[in-house]
Amino acid sequence: MASVKVPALVPSPAEDAEQLRKAFQGWGTNEALIISILAHRNAAQRKIIRETYAQTYGEDLLKDLDKELSSDFERTVLLWVLDPAERDAFLANEATKRLTSNNWIVMEIACTRSSHDLFVVRQAYHARFKRSLEEDVAYHTSGDFRKLLVPLVTSFRYEGDEVNMTLAKSEAKILHEKISDKAFNDEEIIRILTTRSKSQINATLNHYNNAFGNAINKDLKTDPEDEYLKLLRATIKCLTCPEKYFEKVLRLAINKLGTDEWALTRVVTTRAEVDMQRIKEEYHRRNSVPLERAIDSDTSGDYEKMLLALIGHGDA
C-alpha cells in the first residue's frame, strides 16, 4: 500500500503549475510550497503537471527544479517528479556507471518491479540512453555478478498464482545439492531464480525449508563477507519478501555513521506509491521505532520534510 497522501480536492494542473512557477520566483525559493504540491500528487498527476508546466512556460519543470534546489532535497524532488519507469531507468543507468556502480540497485529494480513494469523500464531505457538496459549491465559487470544480473534484468516472469508442486520439489532438491557442493554460481541456481515465477520460487523455497531444515538464505551464509553471496541472498529476499528487503536497506542507511542519503532517497521515492505502508510496519517491528521518528532524528530541513511527506506523515 502506498504512503503518499493526495488531498480529496486536488487543484487543477494549471493551478499547480502556476504555484510551482511562483515558488521559483522572487527572493529565494519557496521550498515549503514545492513540497506541499509535489509530495501530494500521484504519478499520473505529476506527469500532467510537468506537461502543463512545459506548455504554459515553455520550460522543463525538472530543469527549473534543478536550478532552484540543491543537494539531497533536490535529488529527492527530481527522482520523485520523474515518471516511475523513467526514474528506474535513470537509477539503473547510474548503477551501471563506473563511479556510481551498484549491483544491488540493478538487482532491486529487476526483482521488485512487476514483469510489466520492468519491461516499461527497459523501454524507457532505450528512449533515454539509446542503448538497452541489459547491454549496459552486461558491459559493466563480469563474472558471477554478470551471470546473475543479466538474466534478472531481462526476465519477464509469468505472474499467475499457479504452482507446480512436483517441480517445486525437484528444484528445491537441485538447489540443495548445488548449495551443499558450494556451487553457489551454478547455472541451475541462476536458472531457477531468474526464470521461474515468484509464486513458483516461493513454493520451491518453502519446500527447501521443510525438506532440508534451513531457510535457503541461512545455507547461503557460509561466508558472510562474500559479496556475491550477499547479492544472491538479497535477490531471494527481493523476490519473496520485498518489504523486508527494503526495511533492511532503510535500517542500514539510517544506522550508518553519516546517513546513506542516496539509499534513503531511493527507497522512499520508489516505494512511496507502492508498498511503503508495509515497509513502515516492518521497520517499526524490527527497530522498535517508527520510520518517521528515525528519519526525523537522522535528517533535517527541506529534505526531512519532503521524506516525511512522502512516507505519509501529516495531512495532505
Residues comprising the binding site for Ca(2+)? 24, 26, 28, 68, 254, 256, 258, 298-299, 304
Distance of CA 16 to the CA centre of its chain: 27
Span interacting with a second copy, options 61-69, 84-92, 138-146, 278-286, rule CB under 8 A: 138-146
> Contact with a second copy (CB under 8 A): which of 28, 160, 213, 224?
160
Between the two ends of the chain, the Cα-to-Cα distance in Å is 16
Neighbours of 224 (CB within 10 A): 8
CA–CA separation, 90 and 84 (whole Å): 10
> Contact with a second copy (CB under 8 A): which of 45, 154, 185, 217?
154
State yes or no: residue 151 binds a second copy (CB under 8 A): yes
220, 184 contact by CB (below 8 A) = yes
State yes or no: residue 156 binds a second copy (CB under 8 A): yes
State yes or no: residue 113 binds a second copy (CB under 8 A): no
> Contact with a second copy (CB under 8 A): which of 59, 70, 139, 177?
139
3-class SS of residue 101: coil
Span interacting with a second copy, options 31-39, 67-75, 175-183, 191-199, rule CB under 8 A: 191-199
Nearest to 291 by CA among 257, 247, 260, 252: 247
57, 19 contact by CB (below 8 A) = no
Q: Rounded to the nearest whole angstrom, what is the least distance from the CB of residue 144 to a second copy in the complex? A: 11
Q: Quick one: DSSP state of residue 256? A: S
CA–CA separation, 269 and 76 (whole Å): 7
State yes or no: residue 206 binds a second copy (CB under 8 A): no
Which amino acid is it at 2? A
Span interacting with a second copy, options 12-20, 91-99, 187-195, 302-310, rule CB under 8 A: 187-195
219, 179 contact by CB (below 8 A) = yes
Neighbours of 101 (CB within 10 A): 13
State yes or no: residue 134 binds a second copy (CB under 8 A): yes
Quote the cell numbers at residue 207.
519446500
State yes or no: residue 98 binds a second copy (CB under 8 A): no
Span interacting with a second copy, options 41-49, 69-77, 97-105, 130-138, rule CB under 8 A: 130-138
> Contact with a second copy (CB under 8 A): which of 62, 138, 215, 316?
138
CA–CA separation, 287 and 285 (whole Å): 6
State yes or no: residue 196 binds a second copy (CB under 8 A): yes
> Contact with a second copy (CB under 8 A): which of 197, 235, 240, 270?
197
Which residues of the chain form contacts with a second copy (CB under 8 A)? 119, 122-123, 126, 130-135, 138-139, 146-147, 150-151, 154-160, 162, 187, 191, 194-197
